[in-house]
Amino acid sequence: MNTTTAPNPWTRVFAPFATGYFLSYLLRNANAVISPELRQDLGLSAADLGLLTSAYLLVFGAFQLPLGLLLDRFGPRRVETALLLICAAGCALFATGHGLAQLTLARALIGLGVSACLMASFKSFSLWFPLERQASLNAAIMAAGGLGALMASSPLSALLPVLGWRGIFFAIAGLSLVVALLIFTSPEKTGQAERETLAKQLAGLATIFTSRAFWRFAPQTSLVVGGFMALQGLWALPFMTQVDQLAREKAANVLLLMAVAMMIGFLFIAFFVRRLAQAGLPPARLLAIGIGCGLVATLGIVLQVAPAWLLWPILGLVFAVSNLAYALLCAEFPVQLAGRVNTALNFGAFVGAFGIQWLFGIAVDGFQAAGLAAPAAHRATLAGLLVLQTVGWLWYVRETRRARLSAS
């Protein structure tokens, strides 16, 4: 349906896509809560758990580049509907899985199935809503993702004894079908911009990946944003149960606090970033300060200088601040490349998340094989990640200073 005005766009357009992003975040983090059951029922090692869980992130990230082309060519409604059907199949396969290979394949299908949920939302909003409403819409859609993260904490932990992890994934498969139907029946509007040829679109991607501006942000985004996703999506809960000796219910409550902090951070950025810039704190500096605070909080987690419930939520706030990189990088390129710029940086974030989530488990197993107890192995692994993140942050600070001096 191609019309100029959507009937009830908030309920017919925003709500279905927001529900899709809620589902995406729920599935991204669900394995953190069910990880003890997965290891016990299937005899998985930490490395196995990291591999199967991170398969979501690898496929999700790898699909970001072709996704931008598909959204421009076929529209967000059809693309996300088709992908959510794949998500439902992946959830059903996961629920029936009995081996590492099947579970990893299922997790990869889930990652592919929800890979468009955020970018399709952005594309749809740009078609239906005026430019001046984009900031509030983006904040609202990120908050919907935050609700998914909230669900993948204490509420999901409470459902586990009732449904079991297999029952939970069967239920999510059904929810995926419902969301696919809601999005498929939502109104559609065609973009007004002239379509580029595939060759021109690919040339635009090459321009992005060979630019110094992209590589100013990419290492920090891959290691910090990717690291947060790897921790929130899997390793935070085992870390808290092993290192802080928290019961799983209490650790799930800390995950809940992380998600709340993340939501607060997104809303704060959406409503106050312009005021902070006017007061002398531009987004580039806010990004550097925020990431620096996150690194200090991570050091505190490694050294156990404060309770888990106090330090881990700081990482949720920092994750919200770190997303300023998307807008800052887009400002470095012509507006017609904005979609590809976002998906290129998102690709880096998810590749980083995949690598960190998998290698974290390998490192924990390796440290334990070398004689460290489980708590010390988890702390040593997180310390190694902190070193890499610090290098990425220092690179961003250095390159931002260089770019500022070049422009002056």
Note the pLDDT tens digit of each residue in 161-177: 999 999 999 999 999 99
Crossing angle of the two packed helices 46-62 and 64-74, in degrees rounded to 10: 40
Q: Which residues pair with 2 in a beta bridge?
A: 188
How much of the chain, in percent, has pLDDT values that exceed 70?
91
pLDDT tens for 262-321 read 888 888 877 787 788 889 999 899 999 999 999 999 999 999 999 999 999 999 988 888
Mean per-residue pLDDT over the chain, rounded: 87
- Residue 251: inside a domain: yes
Q: Look at residue 365 and tell me if it is in a domain.
A: yes
Domain range spanning residue 103? Answer: 9-407
Q: What's the predicted TM-score (pTM) here?
A: 0.80
Output b/e per residue, 70-81; b: 16+ Cβ within 10 A.
Answer: bbbeebbbbbbb
Residue 1 resides in a domain: no
Stretch 24-38: mean pLDDT, rounded? 87
Provide the domain count of the chain: 1
Q: Which of 95-109, 124-138, 163-177, 232-246 has the lowest mean pLDDT?
A: 124-138
Rounded to 10 degrees, the C-alpha dihedral 301/303/304/306 comes to -80
C-alpha triplet 365, 367, 373: angle, nearest 5°: 95
Q: For residues 112 and 93, is the Cβ–Cβ distance under 8 A?
A: no
Q: Is the residue at 2 inside a domain?
A: no
Chain position carrying tokens 């708590």:
375
Is there a domain that residue 366 lies in? yes
CATH code: domain of residue 269:
1.20.1250.20
Indicate whether 236 belongs to any domain: yes
Cα gap 145→141, rounded to integer Å: 6
3 within a domain of the structure (yes/no): no
Instruction: Judge contact between 359 and 228, C-beta under 8 A.
Output: no
The one-letter amino acid code at 222 reads S
Alpha carbons 269 and 139: distance in angstroms, whole number: 8
> 245 in a domain, yes or no?
yes
Residue 188, beta-bridge partner list: 2
Residue 131 has pLDDT above 60, yes or no: no
Residue type for 138, please? N
For residue 252, pLDDT beyond 60: yes
